Amino acid sequence: MRSFVPLVYTDPAARVAVGEAGPRSAGELMRDASLVAERLPPARPGSEVLVVCGDRYHLAVTALGAWLRGHAVALPPNAQPAAVRELAGRPDVVALIHDSDLADAQDVREWLSGHALGVMADPTWPEALPADRRLAVVYTSGSTGDHQPCAKTAGQLLGEAQALAATFALAAGEVALATVPPYHLYGLLFGVLAPLAAGAAFARETPLHAETVARAAREVGATVLVSTPAHLRGLTVLQRGDLPPLRRVFSSGAPLPRATADELLAQLGLAVTEVYGSSETGGIGWRRHEQVLGDMSPEPAWTPLPGVAVEVAAEGRLLLRSPFLAPDAPSPYPCEDRALLDARGGFHLRGRLDGVVKVAGKRVAVAEVEQRLLALPAVADAAVVATETPGARGHELMAAVVARDSGRDAGELVAELRRGLLPWFDPVVVPRRIKVVPALPREPNGKLTKRRLHALLGLTAEEPAEAERGGSVAAADASGAAGDSAGAAVIGFEVRGHVRREAGDAAVHEVEVGVPVDLAFFRGHFDGAPVLPGVAQLTALVVPQVAALRPELGRLRQAARLKFTRPIAPGDALVLRLEVRGTSVRFSLARAGEVVTAGALEYEARGD
């Protein structure tokens, strides 16, 4: 039986982690992991250490320490306190380790304090781990239902990390920066374990917005970016030169829209490597978007990862043979995706088996409708669901979309989306109801849980729809009849005072704004450390306040030079400053005198 080691460094001074929290070496990593191992309780059969660390170095230290002690690590589906407490109550969990302010848990920073800086240990892993040793429990994304636990052995977890490092030629000197939290499997593999398997380094922090990603990448000298389609789409506001030279840009967690891949390549020179897999199967295949294809060109084929073999059953189901599957999984393993093999040993995906429905007798792949929406220039993000209906219609489709232009009229946008979909689909297939929302409730790994999406669309009683929670949601049915939109009031925020003054040819407004701790936009963004999304700052605060104070301005034409330099958290007290010159508005949000967000808005003159 094969055995595995989680890190391959021989030089104690080799760089392992970098970032604002400070660099760390391989010798310091092993020293700290050994200290954690000493502090943990003795292992017993099936024992787990639940780890909720946002700093990748702290997660790596805790995971290695748990493995040295004989435990597995459990990684939560998110860092929300209720979810963490529920998992911590499981009988197999012997410790809960964190690096924030989580109650009833051990802060790993307390264990690591008191070291003399520079003290190192031999980074050689003391004893290889057998392939069947249970190392981790991760959770499925919840995109098709509730989160489900998946146990991972050393052969699955470390074997895949080694395969990724070899396939993509990661090596010493590389620095991986991830926008995905390390407690998600994708973030763990690409953002921690693959760099450790390659003798490379990883960035400790998880930047979110485009400007912070660019700044962090420059500061740590990143050569690899690990991201998701939703996060990569946000990078399209950057210009060439904002990012350092990146040798690899990875995308996973959801299909990467071709329009996003084309825009990143044409605008920033970033050739994205897309990785396909799941929590249950591990990595399956990859493809690299190396040329701008346009909407009518065939998609590039997927290449199986080393050791992975794919087959296709008679009904089109993808069958998988892989070393990254659970030891007791059937072989071949039946996936829930449809596929088509090509003559060169690759394959093309054709949507999920459970994602093909009949709408008024027409077969339609829900994922295809979603991808066509995402390809439209007016759409920043989109999701589509199918719901069963009584009678002969069978199903109908509903969609939630985020507009690129936050000031657009919802009815006009929906009409444009219908026109964009009609060349591809029969009119009865086009979603009958579309909601224009400020943001989709994505998980930090970029995925949408089925429950949250259904709640946003008002399809379940488990959670009220966004509009009922005080969020800013503009709804329109597919005929283009607009429902309630954000209007000219700040939705959900507390406006406490307003001062106007003249400054030369500009009118300056300063508005005191409170950020409620229960604001709907914080849900799912992001677990454990809530951050107000940039799109919510614009669509639910800045733009409505401009409309309220300057009603003479016409429709918003564009938002430019957006900078999100510091996160906005629940309970923050802000000052919104608007500097208005004609149809141009420069704005900023400041906290305690420090600007955290800034940008410029350009409006049409009323009557144009």
User: Quick one: pLDDT at residue 295?
Assistant: 59
The chain-wide mean pLDDT, for the chain, equals 84
Which of the residue ranges 166-170, 292-296, 554-558 would you say has the lowest mean pLDDT? Answer: 292-296
Q: Does position 504 have pLDDT exceeding 60, yes or no?
A: yes
Helix 410-421 vs helix 366-374: angle between axes, to the nearest 10 degrees?
120
Per-residue model confidence (pLDDT) at position 481: 28
Query: Can you give the residue range of the structural domain that contains 527?
Result: 494-605
Quick one: average pLDDT of 358-367?
74
Question: Do residues 459 and 536 both lie within one domain?
Answer: no
Residue 332 has pLDDT above 70, yes or no: yes
Question: Quick one: pLDDT band at residue 116, thresholds 50, 70, 90?
Answer: low
* Residue 196, token pair as written in the block: 């450790």
Domain boundary among 431, 448, 477: 477
In a domain, 274, yes or no: no
pLDDT-based confidence at 198, cuts 50/70/90?
very high
Lowest-confidence pick of 137-151, 306-320, 398-412, 441-455:
137-151
Query: What's the mean pLDDT in 398-426?
Result: 84
Is 369 domain-assigned? yes
- Same domain, residue pair 560 and 470: no
Q: Do residue 420 and residue 520 come from a single domain? A: no
Query: Which of 55-64, 86-95, 444-453 has the lowest average pLDDT?
Result: 444-453
- Is there a domain that residue 437 lies in? yes
Domain-ending residue, one of 153, 184, 217 = 153
* Cβ proximity of 324 and 156 under 8 Å: yes
For 486-497, write each residue's pLDDT tens digit: 223 345 677 766
| pLDDT of 145 above 60 | no
Tokens 């170095």 locate to 57
Per-residue 3-state assignment (H helix, E strand, C coil) for 477-531: ECCCCECCCCCCCCCCCEEEEEEEEEECCEEEEEEEEECCCCCHHHCCCCCCCCC
Residue 459 has pLDDT above 80, yes or no: no
In sign, the C-alpha dihedral spanning 268, 273, 277, 283 is negative
> What integer is the mean pLDDT of 351-370?
76
Q: CATH no. for residue 117?
A: 3.40.50.980
> What gap in Å lies between CA 564 and CA 599, rounded to an integer?
9
Q: What's the CATH code of the domain at 416?
A: 3.30.300.30
Q: Provide the token pair at 513.
A: 């704004």
Q: What is the mean pLDDT of residues 426-437?
A: 83
pLDDT-derived band at 422 (thresholds 50, 70, 90) equals: confident
Q: Domain check: are 21 and 72 in the same one?
A: yes
Residues 511 and 473 in one domain: no
- Locate 31 and state its tokens: 């020293």
Instruction: Give counts: helices (H), strands (E), the chain.
Output: 15, 33
Cβ–Cβ under 8 Å, residues 599 and 560: yes
Strand, helix or coil for residue 181: coil
The reported pLDDT for the residue numbered 462 is 36
Residue 55 has pLDDT above 80, yes or no: yes
Same domain, yes or no: 547 and 444? no
Closest to 384 (Cα-Cα) out of 440, 428, 427, 446: 440
Q: Are 559 and 566 in contact (CB under 8 A)?
A: no
Does position 128 have pLDDT exceeding 50, yes or no? yes
* Residue 320's pLDDT band (cuts 50, 70, 90): very high
Give the SS3 label for residue 231. helix
Q: What is the pLDDT of residue 335?
A: 92
Half-sphere exposure of 70 (CA within 13 A, CB side): 8
Q: Is residue 520 part of a domain?
A: yes
Residue 28: pLDDT over 90: yes
Compute the distance between CA of residue 260 and CA of residue 377 in angstroms, rounded to an integer: 10
| Residue 498's CATH number | 3.10.129.10
Tokens of 324: 């990254």
Give the pair of three-digit tokens for residue 258: 């071709």
DSSP assignment string, 346-380: -EEEEEEGGGEEEETTEEEEHHHHHHHHHTSTTEE
Cα→Cα distances 507→194, 513, 546, 558, 581, Å: 53, 19, 12, 20, 7
Q: How confident is the model over 230-241, as a mean pLDDT?
A: 88
Peptide linkage before 526 cis (omega within 30 of 0): yes
pLDDT(463) > 50: no
**Where are the extended beta strands (E) located within 245-332?**
248-251, 272-278, 282-288, 303-304, 309-312, 317-321
Q: What is the pLDDT of residue 7?
A: 94
Residue 487: predicted pLDDT: 29
* Residue range 207-229: mean pLDDT, rounded: 92
What span, in angstroms and rounded, lies between the C-alpha atoms of 35 and 65? 7
Determine the Cα–Cα distance for residues 55 and 185; give it in Å rounded to an integer: 15
Most confident of 178-182, 244-248, 566-570: 244-248
Residue 576: strand, helix, or coil:
strand
In a shared domain, residues 401 and 535: no
User: What is the C-alpha separation between 144 and 340, in angstroms, rounded?
Assistant: 23
Q: How confident is the model at residue 291 (pLDDT cuts 50, 70, 90)?
A: confident
Within this chain, do residues 16 and 125 fall inside the same structural domain, yes or no?
Answer: yes
- Which pLDDT belongs to residue 296? 57
Could you tell me the sign of the dihedral formed by the alpha carbons of 234, 255, 143, 92, in that order? negative
Of 101-110, 323-332, 506-515, which one has max mean pLDDT?
323-332
List, for residues 380-400, the tens digit of each pLDDT value.
Answer: 889 998 887 765 556 888 888
* Closest among 377, 399, 417, 368 to 255, alpha carbons compared: 368
Query: Quick one: three-class SS letters along 53-118?
Result: CCCHHHHHHHHHHHHHHCCEEECCCCCCHHHHHHHHCCCCEEEEEECCCCCCCEEHHHHHCCCCCC
Q: Indicate the pLDDT class of residue 325, thresholds 50, 70 and 90.
A: very high
Asked if 446 and 569 sit in the same domain, the reply is: no
318 falls within a domain: no
CA angle centred on 487, ends 484 and 490, rounded to 5°: 115
Please report which residue ranges of 185-322 form alpha helices under DSSP H: 185-188, 194-198, 210-220, 229-234, 258-263
315 in helix, strand or coil? coil
Q: How far apart are CA 156 and CA 568, in angstroms?
A: 38
* Half-sphere exposure for 159 (CA within 13 Å, toward CB): 27
The single residue listed with the structure tokens 């629940």 is: 570
Is 295 part of any domain? no
Closest by CA position to 240, among listed 218, 213, 270: 270
Beta bridge partners of 358: 363
Is residue 427 one of the residues assigned to a domain?
yes
Longest dimension (CA), the chain: 78
CA distance 478 to 430: 8
Average pLDDT over residues 317-337: 93
Residue 132 lies in a domain: yes
In terms of domains, do 56 and 96 share one? yes
The pairs formed by 581-588 with CB atoms below 8 angstroms and a separation of 24 or more are 581/505, 581/506, 583/553, 583/554, 585/546, 585/550, 585/553, 587/542, 587/546
Give the pLDDT mean for 76-92: 82
Domain identity same for 134 and 36: yes
| 503 shares a domain with 438 | no
- Omega of the bond prior to 123 within 30 degrees of 0, cis? no
Asked which of 24-33, 158-167, 275-284, 588-597 is least confident by mean pLDDT, the reply is 588-597
**In percent, how much of the chain has pLDDT > 70?**
87
Total structural domains in the chain?
3
User: CB-based contacts of 320: which residues, under 8 Å, 6+ apart?
Assistant: 281, 284, 308, 309, 310, 311, 332, 333, 334, 335
- pLDDT-derived band at 426, boundaries 50, 70, 90: confident
Give the helix ranges, DSSP H, for 380-449.
410-421
CA–CA gap between residue 77 and residue 52 (Å, rounded): 10
Query: What percent of the chain is predicted at pLDDT more than 90?
Result: 45
User: Looking at the predicted structure, is the pLDDT value of residue 29 above 80?
Assistant: yes
pLDDT tier at 141 (50, 70, 90 boundaries)?
A: low
Q: What phi, psi does 392 have (nearest 5°)?
A: -80, -15
List residues bridging with 508 in a β-sheet.
501, 579
Specify the pLDDT at position 474: 32
pLDDT in the model for residue 118:
66
User: Which of 431, 449, 477 is the last residue in one of the domains?
Assistant: 477
